[in-house]
Amino acid sequence: MTTNRAVQIFKHGGVEVLQLNQIPVPTPGPGEVLIKTAYAGVNYVDVYYRTGLYPIALPFNLGSEGAGIVESVGAGVTKFKPGDHVVHMSTGAYADFIAVPQKIVAHVPEDFSLEVAAAILVQGLTALTMLRESYEVKKGDTILVHAAAGGTGLILVQLAKALGATVIATASSQEKLDIAKAHGADYLVNYSHGEEQWVNEVLAHTKDGEGVEAVYDGVGKATFDGGLKVLKRKGTFVSFGNASGAVDPFKINRLGEKNIKLLRPRVFAYVYTQEEFEYYSNELFKYVKAGQLKVNIHKTYALEDLSQAHRDIEGRGTTGKLVIKL
């Protein structure tokens, strides 16, 4: 009998709520592709689903992206066939088999390994769509990227450099800042010495101390106030995550002090249609092929060690991407 291991949660909590269970192999419905997973990517959002920060219906099959080989296809699927190498961004990805709507599945380019494909999709699409649509980075801009040595952070740094921006990178240690620099960051700021210090350091790296054109912030609660302070007049605040906790409610009047634009984007709403998903996936793969985007895999874990991967990413001990091998 074919087995299908899947990571499920039945309640919210710490890593102890992660369960590795056997579930039936799904049958692909109309428009769906059944994928045999080779690798799945670890994303911070999996932590939010586990802890309950993002509301979900329980039980919930965890995981947000994976790469593997098409096993079979449902009615009406013409773009994919058994044997194709594909990558997807669906929840439930920590499973040997997953049925995924074809609109969020892409072919893996010939020269990519499945491991690299699983490492790049969600964080890469997040970074790319935010740099194009949340605030369209232009040559000559100076932007701030928080947690710049993290998975999404390292991609933001590299793509922003490819777009011609000057990048100020923050992280919590010199070792992490060195990694951000090796991926192209221009200025490095350790934000673990308190808000006043990092705010002053960031401003000192901007023209006439006026501030940055845009802040890309996946840290959330701990950096929100400081981010408003380092923005230039008419700057854009892209708040896209909560690694330190959700941003506290605040009075929108504060934006008027400098006419700041504030966005709270999620990648799924930028790559919602098949056309959007295909367009941005192809753009992302082009950056990798052109050598402008290096995929930095921190560690590849066995599925049985997923709880360790969660502990590692929550414990701030990782840089780049964590991958699970199935």
Site residues for ligand NDP per CB under 6 A: 43-45, 122-123, 126, 147, 149-153, 171-172, 176, 218-219, 222, 240-244, 265-267, 313-314, 316, 318
User: Tell me, what DSSP letter sits at residue 186?
Assistant: S
Minimum CB distance to ligand NDP smaller for 26 or for 265: 265
Q: What is the spatial distance between Cα 272 and Cα 259, in angstroms, rounded to a whole number?
A: 29
214 contacts 135 by C-beta, under 8 angstroms: yes
The residue among 78 and 273 lying less far from ligand NDP, judged by its C-beta, is 273
DSSP 274-307: HHHHHHHHHHHHHHHHTTSS---EEEEEEGGGHH
Q: How far is the CB of 82 from ligand NDP (least distance, A)?
A: 30
Nearer to ligand NDP, 59 or 317 (CB): 317
E strand or H helix at 225, and its extent?
Answer: helix 224-230
42 versus 99: smaller Cβ distance to ligand NDP: 42
| Minimum separation from the CB atom of position 45 to ligand NDP (A) | 5
> By three-state DSSP, how is residue 175 classified?
helix
CB–CB of 189/197 below 8 Å? no
DSSP helix/strand/coil, 203: helix
**Neighbour tally for 278: CB within 10 Å:** 16
* Shortest Å distance, C-beta 30 to ligand NDP: 27
CA angle 277, 97, 95 (to 5 degrees): 90
* CB-nearer residue toward ligand NDP: 158 or 318: 318
Is-cis flag, bond preceding 55, omega within 30? no
Structure tokens at 77: 């699927």
Report in angstroms how near the CB of residue 226 gets to ligand NDP at its nearest: 12
Nearer to ligand NDP, 37 or 43 (CB): 43
- CB nearer to ligand NDP: give 79 or 299: 299
At closest approach, how far in Å is the CB of 24 from ligand NDP? 30
Task: Say if strands 297-302 and 321-325 run parallel, antiparallel, or are unpaired.
Answer: parallel
Q: How far is the CB of 63 from ligand NDP (least distance, A)?
A: 13
Closest to ligand NDP by CB, 84 vs 195, is 195
Report the C-alpha gap between 200 and 279 in whole angstroms. Answer: 39
Q: How far is the CB of 2 from ligand NDP (least distance, A)?
A: 31
CA distance 170 to 319: 13
- In the bound complex, what is the minimum distance in angstroms from residue 48's beta carbon to ligand NDP? 6
Q: And the tokens for 204? A: 């000192």
